[in-house]
Amino acid sequence: MVMTRAQFARDLQDGINAHFGMAYDTWEPEYTKFTEKRTSKRAYEEMVLRVGLGEAQEKSEGGMITFDQGAEGYTSRVDFYTYALAFAITEEAIDDNLYADLSEIYGKELGKALQHAKEVRGAGLFNNAFNSNYTGGDQQALCSPTHPLYSGGVYSNTLATPADISEEALEDACIQISGYVNDRNRPIVVKPKKLIIPRQQTFTTQRILKTTGRVGTANNDINAIKDGDYIPDGFMVSHYMVDPDAWFLKTDCDLGLMFWQRKAVKKGMETDFRTGNMLYKTSERFGFSFGDPRCLFGSTGSPI
């Protein structure tokens, strides 16, 4: 597949006032705003749950002290994939074009295409968050009501009844997050940090988080979420989320959403000696993953 003068016939003669279709602004990188960047030199990386000790037990006078032990739990793994794109263009198409350096223009397109691949895969953490075909180390989807605890029982990082984003739904989510426990069922401190929404929820979210008083009511009450700074990093819009009703709260939990760069962006250009065609390519090897599911709380929105 080679680009020739036939694809750019109008560019071979005078009379064109301007070109359009490739000069659009693009959104600044979004995946960097909700993932932690890590690098790797291995074929894959693994993260292992380390389980702590349980509750201290009462010791009777003269009695034996209770012994407990830590352990290893499940393992989360991230594999790396190579993403690449290339194009070829004849030297005649480059020589005879009167308006621009096609190799430069489409070279920039390679960079945009690779960036798009990262954005789509990064947003896949949200788009697949409720999909049982995309599971973490505990064999549950990222957002699930049945994440197993090592000591028995389960915990949930989603609403019991899916709800659209609202003041009440966000308050319920914050309350649920503050009730998280570790794998020995001890309460832990995990706090919401950032709200992540699709573009369709931009204005609703702006009102919820920025209004001083209660949203959509004449009651003279404060907006508790704003007044208490319960979502300190505000919200961001993901333009690559596909569900218009879904929303997520990123927490301050360690080993959460991660972007792994296995091999940095690599660019290449050469001339095919046999044809004179110019060949351009770019590639990068990376992966996205999550460790502790407590890093995210999500809702699919109200079922229709």
Q: What is the pLDDT of residues 60-112, one digit of tens each?
A: 999 999 999 999 999 999 999 999 999 999 888 878 765 567 778 888 889 99
Q: What is the pLDDT of residues 186-243, one digit of tens each?
A: 999 999 999 999 999 999 999 999 988 877 677 778 889 999 999 999 999 999 999 9
User: What domains appear along the chain, each with residue ranges and CATH number?
Assistant: 30-50+74-289 (3.30.2400.10)
Residue 240 burial (CB count, 10 A): 20
Three-state secondary-structure class, residue 125: helix
pLDDT band at 19 (very low <50, low <70, confident <90, very high): low
pLDDT of residue 4: 77
Radius of gyration of the chain (CA): 26
Q: Which residue has the higher pLDDT, 274 or 93?
A: 274
Three-state secondary-structure class, residue 72: strand
pLDDT of residue 59: 94
CA distance 191 to 294: 10
pLDDT band at 16 (very low <50, low <70, confident <90, very high): low
Mean pLDDT of 3-9: 70
CA distance 101 to 17: 16
pLDDT of residue 14: 66
Q: Which residue has the higher pLDDT, 22 or 85?
A: 85
Mean pLDDT of 16-44: 81
CA distance 187 to 144: 19
83: closest CA among 272, 262, 291?
A: 262
Residue 209 phi, psi (nearest 5)? -90, -20
Mean pLDDT of 119-133: 97
Q: What is the pLDDT of residues 161-183, one digit of tens each?
A: 999 999 999 999 999 999 999 99
Does residue 284 register a pLDDT over 70? yes
pLDDT of residue 221: 85
